């Protein structure tokens, strides 16, 4: 890894840690604020599913903190214990967001479908890309840039995946917030807090995408700079 890439990596690592810390603080704060509706995350997810005509998705509890996710392979909404059993603003926001992904799946949301198709290729490239880039940079020092180019192409797949993830996450939050507001599951006082929690959650994906794009550009510049010197 070159000094410039290391600098970029450290900068975005710092930003990522800051955003993650703020997200955890927000979640901890909003986890202490109960919603007037007194619905658990599980109940909110199940209600949102029913109101969207979805009956083949199961809501389950999984261990971990902020481990919540939707699995399209087995159609499960996986909620962490605090969200699954919680009555808080944070639990309502997260449960509705993950259910938003289930709604995307049921309606064949374009960006989610595209991201799902990329998963096998991204899994393959992520297993190889770091080694290919490392060896590629070493070989580039002797004038052979072929392997570096291969590494750039593999890394570009992960970058595309990160960028495509953005509209998927923002749309899931949009669906969640619209539903929370229209159904009055959150009161006018609770809604801004739920929105704030999901906004900071989305920021983690924004930082990850920007870091991936910046790193890719660094590798491309190394490749082009070396080719220009030939």
List the catalytic residues.
98
CB atoms within 10 A of CB 201: 22
Pairing outcome for strands 58-61 and 76-79:
parallel
Distances from the Cα of 75 to the Cαs of 69, 101, 103, 208, 229, in angstroms? 11, 10, 11, 26, 53
Q: Is 38 left (phi over 0), alpha (psi -120 to 50) or beta?
A: left
Taking the C-alpha atoms of residue 141 and residue 31, their distance in angstroms, rounded to an integer, is 53
């Amino acid at each position: 890894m070159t000094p410039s890439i290391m600098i970029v990596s450290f900068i975005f690592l710092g930003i990522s840690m800051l955003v993650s810390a703020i997200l955890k603080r927000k979640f901890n704060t909003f986890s202490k604020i109960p919603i007037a509706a007194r619905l658990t995350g599980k109940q909110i997810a199940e209600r949102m599913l029913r109101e969207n005509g979805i009956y083949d998705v199961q809501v389950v509890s999984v261990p971990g903190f902020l481990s919540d996710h939707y699995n399209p392979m087995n159609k499960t909404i996986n909620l962490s214990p605090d969200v699954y059993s919680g009555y808080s603003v944070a639990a309502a926001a997260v449960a509705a967001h993950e259910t938003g992904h289930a709604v995307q799946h049921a309606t064949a949301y374009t960006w989610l479908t595209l991201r799902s198709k990329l998963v096998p290729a991204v899994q393959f490239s992520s297993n190889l890309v770091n080694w290919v880039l490392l060896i590629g940079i070493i070989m580039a020092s002797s004038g052979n840039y072929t392997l570096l180019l291969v590494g750039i192409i593999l890394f570009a797949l992960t970058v595309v995946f990160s960028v495509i993830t953005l509209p998927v996450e923002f749309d899931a939050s949009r669906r969640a917030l619209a539903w929370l507001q229209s159904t009055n599951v959150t009161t006018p006082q609770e809604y801004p807090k739920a929105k704030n929690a999901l906004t900071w959650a989305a920021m983690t994906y924004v930082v990850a995408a920007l870091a991936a794009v910046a790193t890719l550009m660094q590798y491309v510049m190394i490749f082009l700079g070396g080719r220009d010197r030939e």
